[in-house]
Structure 1
Amino acid sequence: MTGRLPFLLVLAAALVLIQQQVLLRRSPRLVTLSQQQIHSGSAALDLRFSRPMHRNNVSSESRLVPALNHRWLGTNNPLRLVIDADQVIAGPLKLELAGRDQRLNPMATQTWWWEPRPWLLVTRQVDDGEQLQLLDHDGSWKPLSPVWKRITKLTPIGNGQGVAMVSSDGEGGERIWLRHLTQQSLARRREELKPPEPEQLELLAEKEVLFGHLSSNLNGDLLMQTGGFFPGSERVELIKTDGKRQKLSQISSGPMELIPAGGGLVVPSYDNLSLRPLVDNGRPPQSLPGSRELGAFCAASGRAVLIRHWPDYRRSIELVIPGLAPRQLWLGEKAVLGVACDGSGERIWAVLGEWTGDRGVHTILLIDGAGTQLKQQPLEPWSMKGGTPVQFDPVSRQLLLTVLQPDRRETHPALMDADTLQWRKILPVDVGEAQWLSP
């Protein structure tokens, strides 16, 4: 046996070497394909392969239909496909993926269909109350919740895997729910592209609460801020993507918001607005003094838009750039009803309101990152419903608002061209609120 040991060791080493050579000569393959939420363009995909790829070769041999301008980013593996900004994507895209690895071994060409457009979510008025519904791209409505007396809060999960809601019984008690969703925005055949499939409806808080505020980041984490019926019953809890829960000891004067990229949250107080990590790192938080509230995140750049309230009752809109003092973009006496920004923070939209007699007049502004007003448009005869957001979709380059007419009771989802500020469509359904759900 002792004499055979060197032979066996040599044989084992040879087998390992042969196996390595066989694996090196095997064709590379795609391991995972997923939609990327943080990007500088209209839409993006992350691709991970079985071995490092030759990026330029993947770029030259792959084909996107329609032929939109795009870039391939990354060194070897993974790679990212980014559709250039300022391009309107009107329907599903076909990706014919091909290329070679670093040893120039070819990958078998494969076809993928991709639906990058977001889905429209609404809390729709129905018999006996309100219901969460999703609008399919073919124009049909899909229910995602039971009918409740009222839905007071709607928060899509940042990774598109669910929708959190707060339902009210109409008598002061609220419940917090999470509807899990399975996305079907990537498929090998076009007919397999479908709207998100509703899964489990999870009750997040065992008892009724007096109020509930929700916030989500692009990782899929959910912040749940609740208050009970008794003093000291306030709770702040982080529900992570894997379902694990973490209690937070943050104290705030209002709703807190998770940072899109993860790792921190924005905490308001009576005299400042602070950025705090989710895990204490021993360093003091970054704070801005004054009465400020978060308006919108510009996720791809790390920028944010703030609304500041001045002692003389004026308001201002500020752009916060990491490492720099806030940049004032607008200052005036009108109310700032809602703001939105593109991913780079170079385009900011703001809905302003003023009152003439007993009637409110709402106007939307388009401002660049330096504070130059590019366009202004009155919303008449419509006005924006108070407490609802303005949201920008980079895929279709349109804004989503929830609007109403002063002389009518119905409230509608409204789509506006983000560049011209002209209405594209006002949907003829009565809703409480409308928001985008990422695919």
Structure 2
Amino acid sequence: MRQRLLMLMLMACTAVLAQQQLLLRRTPRLVQLKPQQVQSGTAALDLQFSRPMNRTSVSDATRLEPNVAHQWLGETTPLRMVIDSKVVLKAPIELSLSGQDQRELLLDRQQWWWDPRPWLIATRPVPGGEQVQLQTRSGGWIPISRVWPAIPSVVPLGNGRGIALVGRDQNGTEQVWWEQLTPRSTAISVAALGPPTVSSTQPLLKGEVLFAHLSSNLNGDLLVQSGGFRPGSDQALLVQANGKRKHLALKPSGPMQLLPAGGGVVMPTYDGLTLRALETTNQKPQILPGSRELGAFCGASGRAVLIRHWPDYRRSIELVIPGKAPKQLHLGDQAVLGVACDNRGERVWAVLGRWEQQRGNHELVLINQEGKVSQRRALAPWTLKAGSPIQWNPVTNQLLMTLTQPNRTNAHAGLINSDSLQIIKVINDSISEAQWLNAG
């Protein structure tokens, strides 16, 4: 019996050793491609392998078409490929991937396609009310939400994997819904690339609310501020990208905004703006006093652009760099109707407005981080729609605005070259508001 047991143990050990040898000799495999949102470049792609890879070998053996400037980061797996910040993409990238792992075993060469360009989404008037739609590369529109009598707010999730919206019914009450999207920005053939598809639709809050405000970060987390019909029913709900929910014990005086990189929130108070951590810590919140409002975040760099209101009705634009006092970039008597900035806060765009002869004249200016206006251009005959955002996208190096004309009810999406400030295209289709949806 003992001899038989020893024989079985020996056979088991032999099988384990043989399996180990087989695994050691197996060639590495690509497990996953995952686009990432970064501030250091135009676009980034994480590559997860089954084995620790030799980064230099992968960099030398992999080919890109078009051959745009890029770099490889990481030690083993995952490796990150970052497209340089000065690259502007007008088409998908073909990735011919190869290289050796750290045992010098070769990864079988394989072809992949990656399209990091954003998608244009818009709230559009349709029979029965409004609907969120996405514009395809060919210029057509596809629905990504149901039809509501009105949609006062839409927020794309920062990771490109969904949108959240506030839908208003005929009675004026509101509901908060989430449309989960499945991206198709990476594929083994160019024909398989395409717009994201709606994978699920669900309410984020039970029942109706009196008001709701939404904010998202690049991780895909979502902050939902809402108020009910009873006193004290205001709440702040954090819906994390992994589905976990957390109620935040915060009492802001207005809409809050999640930090792009995650971990914190900018909260307005009666004395100014407060930066707080989402997790409970002993660290005191950072306070920026004065009548200021958040204009735009500069990617994940920690920088932001603020609009300050002065007692004499002047407006200033300030650049906030972590650890430093706000830096004034502009001061004047014109209204600051909207701002945007690049990932590093080195370029700031602003729409300035002044009423003249019973009509508004809007001007788009480009300001560098020293406060010098390097470009300016009148938007006439167009104006920026009141309350709509200005959004810059690093992949296409374009600004997106919702533009209107005097005495016209419908608005249009305008694409603007962020260097020359020339209007590239005004899309003829009527919309209520346009935004970028990142390629997930």
What does residue 164 of structure 2 align with?
A: 164
Alignment of 1:17-416 (within 5 A): 17-416=17-416
Distance of 2:211 and 2:402 partners within structure 1: 22
Given residue 281 of structure 2, which amino acid in structure 1 is its aligned partner? N
The TM-score with structure 2 as length reference comes to 0.96
Task: Confirm or deny: 8 A CA contact 2:39 2:344 kept in the other structure.
Answer: no
Matches of 1:12 and 1:319, distance apart in 2: 66
Percent of aligned pairs with the same residue? 54
Distance 1:188 1:276 in 2: 43
Q: Return the offset for 1:371.
A: 1.7
Alignment partners' CA distance in 2, 1:370 and 1:10 = 74
Deviations 1:94-120 (A, max 9, x none): 101101111211100111111111111
**What one-letter code is carried by the residue in structure 1 that aligns with 2:143?**
P
Superposition pairs for residues 2-17 of structure 1, below 5 Å?
15-17=15-17
Contact 1:411-1:432 at 8 Å conserved across structures: yes
What is the distance in 2 between the residues matched to 1:260 and 1:353? Answer: 28
Question: Post-superposition shift, 1:155?
Answer: 0.3
Question: How far apart, in 1, do the equivalents of 2:404 and 2:333 lie?
Answer: 23
For the residue of structure 2 that corresponds to 1:196, the secondary structure is strand
Q: What is the CA–CA distance in structure 2 between the aligned matches of 1:7 and 1:290, rounded to whole Å?
A: 81
Report SS of the residue matched to 2:22: helix
**Residues 219-277 of structure 1, C-alpha deviation per residue, up to 9 Å, x if partnerless?**
11111001122221111111122322211111111100111111111111121211111
How far is 1:148 from its partner?
1.5
CA distance in 1, matches of 2:67, 2:203: 44
Q: Indicate if the aligned counterparts of 1:74 and 1:80 stay in contact, CA closer than 8 A.
A: yes
1:287 Cα deviation after fit: 1.4
The one-character-per-residue Cα deviations of 1:19-59 (angstroms, maximum 9, x if unpaired) are 43332222111111100012411111001111211111111
Aligned partners of 2:20 and 2:322: how far apart in 1?
47
- Work out whether residues 39 and 82 of structure 1, in 8 Å CA contact, stay in contact via their aligned partners in 2: no
SS of equivalent to 1:431: coil
Provide the C-alpha distance between the structure 2 equivalents of 1:406 and 1:288, rounded to a whole number of angstroms: 37
In structure 1, distance between residues paired with 2:371 and 2:75: 36
Q: Deviations over 1:379-398 (max 9, x none)?
A: 11100001100000111110
Does 2:429 align with 1:429? yes
SS in 2 for 1:134: strand
Residue pair 2:260, 2:300 contacting (<8 A) in 1 also:
no
Deviations 1:276-298, CA, capped at 9 Å, x for gaps: 11111122111111111111111
Output the TM-score relative to the length of structure 1.
0.96
Q: Distance in 2 between matches of 1:13 and 1:128?
A: 70
In structure 2, the residue corresponding to 1:195 is in which secondary structure?
strand
In 2, Cα distance between equivalents of 1:370 and 1:103? 50
User: In structure 2, the residue corresponding to 1:420 is in which secondary structure?
Assistant: coil
Counterpart amino acid of 2:329?
L
